[in-house]
Amino acid sequence: MKKIFLLLALPLLAQAQKIDKIITRSETERIETYLASDELAGRKPFTPGIEKAAQFISAEFEKAGLQKTNGSYLQSFPMYQSKVLSVAGGLDEQTLESKQVAIISKEATIQIDENSGFEVASIKEGENFGQNAYRIMSAKKPTIAFLHESFAKYIPRLSGRGPLRENQSTIIFVVANSIPTKFKVNATQQVEKLQLSNVVGIIPGKSRPNEYVIFSGHYDHLGIGKPVAGDSIYNGANDDAAGTTAVMMLAKYYAKKRNNERTLIFAAFTAEESGGHGSVYFSKQFNPDQVMAMFNLEMIGTESKWGKNSAYITGYEKSSMGEILKKNLAGSPFTFYPDPYLDQNLFYRSDNATLAELGVPAHTISTSKMDSEPNYHKASDEVQTLDLDNMTEIIKAIAKSATSIISGQDTPSRVDTAKLK
Ligand SMILES: [Zn+2]
């Protein structure tokens, strides 16, 4: 009996030792500390700090031996930054003032009137501004929207939106209590075309190379803001240097193991905080049918509301992925829970959303206490506030929980897109 027991127990023990040697607290600390350092100045898109972060992640992917796509770990795409220089025009008999207008466009010259074929929309007094403005801004056709004066305070925020995507249509918001019969808007803008980059590395699958499993997190954050107690750098240690660290650690782990049957894709996304542009671009490079699962990792550096050795999965009931992950951790001290903050719409708010909306079992794993995380989106989101031991255990648990998906033994059910919001 003893001998048989030893024979059975050995491989498990060997695996445990190996993972503990690769996913270590000191590696977690080294990577996390650099990503969240003041040197990177809050990793805001279009700043030197985020470029440094991208170089660092690329170098680590290289060291781990991941494959590049198109000769680079950087997956670059163009974005547009625009600044209004002049606005003039009129609404019926009234002259338009520039403070009445917000322009979202990557055109340098805008000259429109009621005959230009723009869609006409409005947000009336008492209507939900956020929902309507979001719908209008995502319109595929050029649109002019007239806002009731009670929403005039939102004009600066609408104007300050950016960066803009390649396919952004021209959207003009004008404060006017009713839709005018005649209107004219003439504007000029300074428009700059800039590059943004995700960082992507690959470990090809041994027997199912065309079936993908994605591990992702966003490496951008908010940059530099108003000083609070002398600190103006938004380090984003938890949001989302922590998830990015996990992606890099998992890449190292699976690169050492080299036993994945499915292809593993590791992605650090840019510009999550400014509109999810990185993950939207990334997600469109795939046939969604080939993506078997996406583990998006967001804010795993603090303890969850249940304490250590636990995390939650957003959209838990929308595919069988959560159940599979839980099954693979049976007997371990680690537990995954369904997202307890449903009213916050986390499933739709992070980088998993684009692929989930195409039916991919794409979920975000997090520990962030969304009702009481004291440093969320503050300059005080620093490494010292994280529990790096617990974070290391979470990364190990994610690695173990993914085992049967990576081997091709389990395939999570697809997200039913008809049931999404
Ligand atoms: Zn985040």
- The confidence band for 34, taking pLDDT boundaries of 50, 70 and 90, is very high
Q: Ligand 1 centre from 300 Cα, in Å?
A: 10
Give the predicted TM-score (pTM) of the model: 0.86
Task: Give the DSSP letter string of 241-304.
Answer: IIHHHHHHHHHHHHHHH---SEEEEEEEES-TTTTSHHHHHHHTTS-GGGEEEEEEE---SS-B
**Residue-level pLDDT at 21:** 94
Residue-wise pLDDT for 83-92, tens only, equals: 999 999 999 9
Mean pLDDT value of segment 305-334: 97
Q: Ligand 1 centre from 98 Cα, in Å?
A: 34
Residue-wise pLDDT for 354-381, tens only, equals: 999 999 999 999 999 999 999 999 999 9
**Residue-level pLDDT at 227:** 86
Q: Ligand 1 centre from 291 Cα, in Å?
A: 22
**Order of strands, edge to edge, in the sheet holding 101-104?**
101-104, 171-175, 143-147, 119-123
3-state secondary structure at position 212 = strand
- The confidence band for 1, taking pLDDT boundaries of 50, 70 and 90, is very low
Q: Ligand 1 centre from 53 Cα, in Å?
A: 16
Q: Ligand 1 centre from 108 Cα, in Å?
A: 32
Residue-wise pLDDT for 259-273, tens only, equals: 999 999 999 999 998
**Residue-level pLDDT at 16:** 60
Kindly tell me if the per-residue pLDDT of 319 is higher than 60: yes
- The confidence band for 2, taking pLDDT boundaries of 50, 70 and 90, is very low
Kindly tell me if the per-residue pLDDT of 20 is higher than 50: yes
CB count, 10 Å around CB of 182? 11
Kindly tell me if the per-residue pLDDT of 240 is higher than 70: yes
Residue-wise pLDDT for 44-73, tens only, equals: 999 999 999 999 999 999 999 999 999 999
- Distance between start and end Cα atoms, the chain: 56
Residues contacting residue 266 through CB under 8 Å, at least 6 positions apart: 61, 66, 200, 201, 202, 203, 214, 215, 216, 247, 248, 250, 251
Q: Ligand 1 centre from 153 Cα, in Å?
A: 27
Mean pLDDT value of segment 112-135: 94
Q: Ligand 1 centre from 353 Cα, in Å?
A: 13
Mean pLDDT value of segment 79-85: 92
**Percent of the chain whose pLDDT exceeds 90:** 87
Residue-wise pLDDT for 381-408, tens only, equals: 999 999 999 999 999 999 999 999 999 9
Q: What is the rounded average pLDDT for all residues in the chain?
A: 93
Alpha-carbon dihedral of residues 381, 308, 340, 315, nearest 10 degrees? 90
**Residue-level pLDDT at 167:** 87
Q: Ligand 1 centre from 87 Cα, in Å?
A: 35
Residue-wise pLDDT for 270-314, tens only, equals: 999 888 999 999 999 989 999 999 999 999 999 999 999 999 999
Q: Ligand 1 centre from 301 Cα, in Å?
A: 12
Q: Ligand 1 centre from 318 Cα, in Å?
A: 21
Kindly tell me if the per-residue pLDDT of 218 is higher than 70: yes
- Residues with Cβ within 5 Å of ion ligand 1? 239-240, 298
Mean pLDDT value of segment 210-215: 98
Q: Ligand 1 centre from 421 Cα, in Å?
A: 21
- The confidence band for 14, taking pLDDT boundaries of 50, 70 and 90, is low
Kindly tell me if the per-residue pLDDT of 10 is higher than 70: no
326 neighbors 394 (Cβ within 8 angstroms): no
Q: Ligand 1 centre from 280 Cα, in Å?
A: 15
Q: Ligand 1 centre from 58 Cα, in Å?
A: 20
Q: Ligand 1 centre from 369 Cα, in Å?
A: 13
221 neighbors 44 (Cβ within 8 angstroms): yes
Where does residue 88 rank: exposed (0-12), middle (13-18), buried (19+ CB within 10 A)? middle
Q: Ligand 1 centre from 81 Cα, in Å?
A: 22
Q: Ligand 1 centre from 236 Cα, in Å?
A: 8
Q: Ligand 1 centre from 333 Cα, in Å?
A: 26
Q: Which residues pair with 216 in a beta bridge?
A: 267, 296
